[in-house]
A and B are shown apart, each in its own frame.
Chain A
Amino acid sequence: MNAPAKRIGDVLLKVENISLSFGAVKAINDVSFEINEHEILAIIGPNGAGKSSMLNCINGFYHPQEGTVTYKGIKRHDVDPHDAAARGIARTFQNIALFKGMTTLDNIMTGRNLKMTRGLFWQALWAGPAVAEEMAHRRKVEDIIDFLEIQSVRKVPVGRLPYGLQKRVELGRALAAEPTLLLLDEPMAGMNLEEKQDMCRFILDVNDEFGTTICLIEHDMGVVMDISDRVVVLDYGRKIADGTPDAVRKDQTVIDAYLGVQH
């Protein structure tokens, strides 16, 4: 193992003074934080706090009206989601967004889309280089399938899979892109205890083995406190805390936000 002792490195992505509003509704209000290389950062907060909106800003679905996102040292301006993907940001969705009619295998193969370079011409001919390329990527995908322990459903259309497995396939699709930064929007929502434990293990393994930086949104506090290196807390679109799990757990503003304040 060449993993350096607690591997956290420099700033990978920096969010500065981001504000996002939909009409009169302010979803995010002047939020800044950093994501460091190789860390697992959790974003928590009550419903409607702007967590998912924040992920959408990072991967380019939303373009915040104010503030900047700096990724790998470069300030971005209104990137498209597929540009963000090309630069190594992969994600999963809160309400699973898989290609339901396609098999597990095909779904994960779409994740390799950006890694495959052979042009339309070779693909159309289904000849030479395109075939070799397809095979090489297929092997990578099989590795991911093994890693996530979903061999048994390789050829099943994902629409038929139970919820927990669909979440896993979605993670697989994101991993197939070999991302630098992986955004997970409630990866454990709706899972039972065993499924949650599996998912935790996968997230930790991904972080450990591939050095992938992970930014996740999660409601299960036990999970968050266990696996994350750092926690950012949002409430009503504002950042109210940012620190280690232990520090955040004891923070009075956070406790107030979650439990309500006595008047």
Chain B
Amino acid sequence: MGFFLEVLIGGLLVGVLYSLVALGFVLIFKASGVFNFAQGAMVLLAALCLVRLIEWLPKWLPALQNPALVVFLAAVLSCALMVLVAMAIERFVLRPLVNQEGIILFMATLGVTYFIEGAGQSVFGSNVYTLNVGIPKDPVFLFEGLFEGGVLVNEFDIWAAVAAGLMVVVLALFFQYTRTGRALRAVADDHQAAQSVGIPLNRIWVIVWTVAGLVALVAGAVWGSKLSVQFSISLLALKALPVLILGGFTSVPGAIIGGLIIGAGEKLSEVFIGPFVGGGIEIWFAYGLALVFLLFRPQGLFGEKIIERV
């Protein structure tokens, strides 16, 4: 039982990270109906910026040696970069393409992906960097009273989960109950109608890409701390896809639950089914599950139901 829990919790914690990446996709999809392929690249960019600034800031400003302050300042500057990126994307990519088909905008985000990856690496370098944001990574034992030996988890993962959980709650409430949240959903449904009730598209897009950028920063910081910052982070986008299909492209809670299910499912299947069918289930489990969902429930667990009137 202790071992099962350990695998489950390990899986759920990885799932939280998937959720974080998927969240960025959901935000932009909800608000503009665009599947933003560049989300993975944004995670990479944010993480690169953060890790390099933490390294550079003490060199540029010799007076600045307090590590916590350096991390804080680097995070603030990275936020600023993500805001700039959001504004640039709105100005140069989205605005010229208003009212175009979703697929055209998707193609545009493909271009944005390569641009961000290239530009990010030429500015911040393309090596593997170790990111340390000052959160302890010590293993801790939980439930020692309940099981012999307790359950082993990494303290860092718990912090990451708490941060992700908090962010999700705030975003979900924001989308559901505020004027801007409603405006975001309105824009996603119908550009023209949204404009006709006085919602300025450009501002909404900047807001939503900024929020997606900040989510990317959190995701980048967490992934970077776990696996160090490197190019492969941008491939996270592919891992977020099955999460989206599971949770539904338009649901913030869906992104979270989907991430958790896939994180836990892939670890559990690897450990408990793997030995019988040969290992490696972890790699394709998510995609297999996504396929089943596509066949039987294409809108995902929490997505808005697809209603066709004939």
Q: How far is the CB of A9 from chain B (nearest CB, A)?
A: 24
Q: How far is the CB of B168 from chain A (nearest CB, A)?
A: 14
Q: How far is the CA of A173 from the CA of B196 in the complex (A)?
A: 10
Give the residues in chain A near B179, CB-CB below 8 Å.
109, 112-113, 116, 118, 123, 134
Partner of B177, one of A126, A160, A176: A126
Q: Which of the segments A94-102, A222-230, A235-243 contacts the partner chain?
A: A94-102
B155 within 8 A of A: no
Q: How far is the CB of B70 from chain A (nearest CB, A)?
A: 27
Q: How far is the CA of A93 from the CA of B189 in the complex (A)?
A: 15
Q: How far is the CB of A79 from chain B (nearest CB, A)?
A: 11
Give the residues in chain B near A174, CB-CB below 8 Å.
197
Give the residues in chain A near B114, CB-CB below 8 Å.
none
Asked if B197 contacts A85 (CB within 8 A), the reply is yes
A261 within 8 A of B: no
Q: Encode contact with A along B5-44: 1 for CB under 8 Å, 0 otherwise.
A: 0000000000000000000000000000000000000000
Asked if B250 contacts A101 (CB within 8 A), the reply is yes
Docked complex: A184-235 residues within 8 A CB-CB of B? none
Given contacts A97-B190, A100-B307, A102-B185, contact A110 B197 (CB under 8 A): yes
Asked if A98 contacts B193 (CB within 8 A), the reply is yes
Q: How far is the CA of A120 from the CA of B211 in the complex (A)?
A: 12
Q: How far is the CA of A59 from the CA of B307 in the complex (A)?
A: 30
Interface centre among B179, B183, B193, by most A CB within 10 Å? B179
Asked if B197 contacts A80 (CB within 8 A), the reply is no
Given contacts A101-B250, A113-B179, A118-B179, contact A59 B196 (CB under 8 A): yes
| Minimal Cβ-Cβ distance residue in B for A89 | B196
| Minimal Cβ-Cβ distance residue in B for A133 | B179
Given contacts A90-B197, A124-B174, contact A99 B190 (CB under 8 A): yes
Docked complex: B188-206 residues within 8 A CB-CB of A? 189-190, 192-201
Asked if A110 contacts B199 (CB within 8 A), the reply is yes
Number of interface residues of B (CB under 8 A): 30
| Minimal Cβ-Cβ distance residue in B for A116 | B179
Main secondary structure of the interface of B (DSSP, over half): helix
Give the residues in chain B near A173, CB-CB below 8 Å.
197
Q: How far is the CA of A130 from the CA of B174 in the complex (A)?
A: 12
Asked if A123 contacts B178 (CB within 8 A), the reply is yes
Partner of B180, one of A91, A100, A120, A177: A120
Docked complex: B204-236 residues within 8 A CB-CB of A? 207
A157 within 8 A of B: yes
Docked complex: B251-268 residues within 8 A CB-CB of A? none
A114 within 8 A of B: yes
Q: How far is the CA of A111 from the CA of B71 in the complex (A)?
A: 43
Asked if B185 contacts A109 (CB within 8 A), the reply is no
Interface centre among B174, B192, B196, by most A CB within 10 Å? B196
Give the residues in chain A near B170, CB-CB below 8 Å.
124
Give the residues in chain A near B189, CB-CB below 8 Å.
98-102
Q: How far is the CA of A177 from the CA of B307 in the complex (A)?
A: 28
Give the residues in chain A near B185, CB-CB below 8 Å.
99, 101-102, 106
Partner of A134, one of B177, B192, B193, B207: B177
Interface centre among B173, B174, B182, B207, by most A CB within 10 Å? B182
A132 within 8 A of B: no
B304 within 8 A of A: yes
Give the residues in chain B near A109, CB-CB below 8 Å.
179, 182
Q: How far is the CA of A99 from the CA of B191 in the complex (A)?
A: 10
| Minimal Cβ-Cβ distance residue in A for B199 | A113
Give the residues in chain B near A99, CB-CB below 8 Å.
185-186, 189-190, 193-194
Docked complex: A137-170 residues within 8 A CB-CB of B? 157, 159-160
Give the residues in chain A near B192, CB-CB below 8 Å.
61, 81, 93, 97
Q: How far is the CA of A85 from the CA of B182 in the complex (A)?
A: 17
Q: How far is the CA of A66 from the CA of B218 in the complex (A)?
A: 51
Q: How far is the CB of A159 from chain B (nearest CB, A)?
A: 4
Q: How far is the CA of A101 from the CA of B299 in the complex (A)?
A: 12
Q: How far is the CB of A57 from chain B (nearest CB, A)?
A: 14
Q: Which 10 A-B pairs have the closest CB atoms?
A: A85-B198, A97-B193, A99-B189, A81-B195, A123-B178, A101-B304, A114-B198, A159-B307, A82-B200, A116-B179
26 A/B residue pairs, CB under 8 Å, sorted by A: A61-B192, A61-B195, A61-B196, A80-B195, A81-B196, A82-B199, A82-B201, A86-B198, A93-B193, A93-B196, A99-B193, A101-B304, A102-B182, A102-B186, A109-B179, A110-B194, A110-B199, A111-B197, A112-B179, A113-B186, A113-B199, A123-B178, A157-B305, A159-B307, A159-B309, A177-B197
Additional A-B contacts beyond A82-B195, A113-B197 (7; CB < 8 A): A82-B199, A90-B197, A98-B190, A99-B193, A123-B178, A123-B179, A173-B197
